[in-house]
């Protein structure tokens, strides 16, 4: 698939890419190669193939969400650079 200059400029703008005219020829050639490769995937027979939800055969081992031992507030705040006795204090970053 050939990429014209207008399509390349539009894609570069959308991707926030900035390159000069000498690089645009190489970029168009590389992009055409990628699109040709993707078109080859359309030739693969996928009839009856279930879509993948992930690339691994592993099954997630979820843990039970139970209350357990936790860090006491005093110990957690002990080494804080700034705290008010109940919470960490951090510098304001938004107005």
- 60: pLDDT confidence band, cut at 50, 70 and 90? confident
* Angle, CA 11 vertex, CA 6 and CA 17 arms, to 5°: 115
Render pLDDT for 5-54 as a digit per residue (tens, 0 to 9). Answer: 898 989 999 999 888 888 888 999 999 999 999 999 889 998 998 888 77
- Spell out the domains of the chain, with CATH numbers in brackets: 5-41 (1.10.20)
Q: What is the pLDDT of residue 65?
A: 87
Render pLDDT for 38-49 as a digit per residue (tens, 0 to 9). Answer: 999 889 998 998
Secondary element (H or E) of residue 26: helix 21-41
């Amino acid at each position: 698939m050939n990429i014209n200059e207008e399509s390349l400029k539009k894609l570069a703008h959308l991707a926030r890419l900035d390159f000069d005219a000498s690089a645009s020829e190489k970029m168009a050639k590389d992009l055409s190669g990628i699109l040709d490769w993707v078109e080859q995937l359309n030739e693969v027979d996928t009839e009856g193939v279930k879509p993948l939800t992930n690339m691994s055969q592993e099954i997630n081992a979820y843990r039970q969400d139970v209350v357990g031992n936790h860090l006491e507030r005093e110990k957690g705040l002990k080494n804080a650079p700034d705290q008010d006795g109940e919470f960490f204090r951090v510098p304001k970053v938004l107005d």
